[in-house]
Amino acid sequence: MLQKGGAQTVTPSTTAEPTSPTATSAAGNREALEPSSPVAFFGEDEPLHLDAGIDLSPVQIAYNTYGELNADKSNAILICHALTMDHYPASRSPVTGKPGWWSPIVGPGKPIDTDKFFVICSNVIGGCMGSTGPASINPATGEPYGLSLPVITIRDMVRAQRMLVERLGIDRLFAVIGGSMGGMQVLQWTVSYPDKVFAALPIATGARHSAQNIAFHEIGRQAVIADPDWEGGRYFAHDKRPVKGLAVARMTAHVTYLSEMALHRKFGRNLQDRDVLGFGFDADFQIESYLRHQGMTFVDRFDANSYLYLTRAMDYFDIAADFDGSLAKAFRGSETRFCLVSFSSDWLFPTDENRAVVHALNAAAASVSFVEIETDRGHDAFLLDEPEFFAAIDGFVSSAARARGLIA
C-alpha cells in the first residue's frame, strides 16, 4: 500500500508541518485529468454499473501494458494495484519519477516475465491517476466530482477492469495478481468472473476488511475531513488542498504497513539531528521525522477525496456477505488455481486472514497453494525484496503457465 522502499531511509527533515501543494502535486492533478498513459474511454452507451445502484458514464480507465499479447490472447496477466499505488508497476511513475512499484517482480526475465506474458495494470476506478475518480471532471457540471461521485466498491473496480480487458480483446485472463487492496480485487475477480481467470495470486490480503482495519481507515478519513482546507470535499473550487489532514492520514496508515520489530530495528529511539531531547514538540525522534516525511511526500502525489473513496471501498469489502456469510460458497465450483501469500509480521492482513481464504478454498475443493513468508517487514513486505516471496511467485506462475500450455 505504500511506496516501494519507503521504510528504507531516514530523511533529515525536521519540518513540523507539511507544506502547501507543490509543483509535484500539480503534476499529480494533471495525471488525474490528462493521464500520460493510454486511456480506455467508455461513453454513455457503455456505463459502469456501480454497486451503489448508479450507472456511471462516461468512464475512463488509465492503464499500462507490458509485453506482447500472443496470437490466441491467452497470455494476459492483470496486475491489481494497492490503495495508494498506480498503474505503473514496471515503469517510471510520471508523478514521482520513481521506478515501478513492482519492478523487481514485473519485467523481462522477472518472476512475472514480460517476455512471456502480456501484463496489464490499470488505475482503479475512484483513483487519482487518470481513471474516473473524485478528482475527475463531472461532465454534467464541468467541476470535479468531489463527493458527488457515488461510493465505489472493490467489485466496481473489478467490473471496470473487466470492461478494459474486454476492450483489449481478451476474453480470459491467464492470471490476476495483486497485494493488499490489489489482493481483494484478485479475490473479487475469481468470484465475479470465475471462468475468466485461470490462475489467481492474492497476496497479503483478506476476504473482508477487519474491524481494526476499518478503524484505522476511519482515523485517516476523519483527519482529512477535519482539515478546514478540505472544504466539504470541494477544495479544488477553493484552490486549496487538505494537505495537513491527508498527511496525518498517511502517517497513521504508514505505521500499519510496518511492524514493531522493523520500526525498532530501523529507528529504535534514535534522535534526529540532535544529541539530546529538545524538550519541545519538534521531531526529536527519527521515527517522527520519517513519518512526517512520509506524510508530506504523499500529499504531493495523492488526491484527498480519492483517499476517502478507496479506503471506503476496502472497508465495504466482504465477499462472504454476498454468499449468506459463507466464504466457501463464494468459491464453489471454482476451477481457478489459487496461490495465497502472507507475511509473518503483517498485522494489517495477518496470516490468519489469508488462511481463512485458504480454508474456504479447501472447503470448495479448489486448487490452492499457500505460503507464509517469514519476515519482520510487516505488510509492506509484498513491495520489498523478499527472495522466498519471489520464488513462490515464480514457481506458481511458471507451473500455471505450463498447465495452460504457455511455456514448455
CA distance 267 to 227: 29
| Sites for other proteins among residues 231-290 (CB under 8 A) | none
- What are the distances in angstroms from CA 263 to CA 9, 376, 377, 378? 12, 9, 9, 10
The cell for 255 is 505505521
Selected from 260, 352, 374, 385, the binder of other proteins by CB under 8 A is 374
CA distance 93 to 262: 27
Q: Annotation-wise, does 380 bind a ligand?
A: yes
Q: Does 372 bind other proteins (CB under 8 A)?
A: yes
Q: Does 402 bind other proteins (CB under 8 A)?
A: yes
Beta bridge partners of 122: 63
Q: Does 174 bind other proteins (CB under 8 A)?
A: no
Q: How far is the CB of 201 from other proteins (least distance, A)?
A: 11
Number of residues forming the site for other proteins (CB under 8 A): 28
Q: Which stretch binds other proteins (CB under 8 A): 219-227, 249-257, 299-307, 366-374?
A: 366-374
| Sites for other proteins among residues 96-135 (CB under 8 A) | none
Nearer to other proteins, 198 or 290 (CB): 198
Q: How far is the CB of 228 from other proteins (least distance, A)?
A: 49
Q: Let me know: does 82 contact 179? Beta carbons within 8 Å.
A: yes
Q: Which stretch binds other proteins (CB under 8 A): 53-61, 181-189, 240-248, 394-402?
A: 394-402
Q: How far is the CB of 262 from other proteins (least distance, A)?
A: 19
Q: Does 370 bind other proteins (CB under 8 A)?
A: yes
At 103 the three-state DSSP class reads: coil
Nearer to other proteins, 320 or 364 (CB): 364
Radius of gyration (Cα) for the chain, nearest Å? 21
Q: Let me know: does 368 contact 400? Beta carbons within 8 Å.
A: no
Nearer to other proteins, 149 or 392 (CB): 392
Q: Does 363 bind other proteins (CB under 8 A)?
A: yes
Q: How far is the CB of 107 from other proteins (least distance, A)?
A: 19
| Sites for other proteins among residues 336-355 (CB under 8 A) | 337, 339, 355
The cell for 2 is 505504500
CA distance 399 to 407: 9
Q: Nearest CA to 284 among 100, 69, 14?
A: 14
Selected from 212, 270, 365, 385, the binder of other proteins by CB under 8 A is 365
Residue 344: what residue type?
S
Selected from 175, 291, 371, 406, the binder of other proteins by CB under 8 A is 371
CA distance 266 to 300: 25
Nearer to other proteins, 50 or 358 (CB): 358
Q: Which stretch binds other proteins (CB under 8 A): 221-229, 236-244, 259-267, 390-398?
A: 390-398
Q: Annotation-wise, does 229 bind a ligand?
A: no
Q: Let me know: does 155 contact 112? Beta carbons within 8 Å.
A: no
End-to-end CA distance of the chain: 35
Q: How far is the CB of 163 from other proteins (least distance, A)?
A: 31
Query: DSSP letter at 379?
Result: G
Selected from 236, 257, 267, 396, the binder of other proteins by CB under 8 A is 396
Q: Let me know: does 119 contact 87? Beta carbons within 8 Å.
A: no
CA distance 152 to 163: 16
CA distance 311 to 153: 10
Residue at grid coordinates 445502484:
53
Question: Which residues carry out catalysis?
Answer: 180, 346, 379
Write out the residues near other proteins by the rule CB under 8 A.
Answer: 337, 339, 355, 358-360, 362-365, 367-374, 388, 391-392, 394-396, 398-400, 402
Per the annotation, where are the binding residues?
Answer: 250, 380
- Known binding positions for substrate: 250, 380
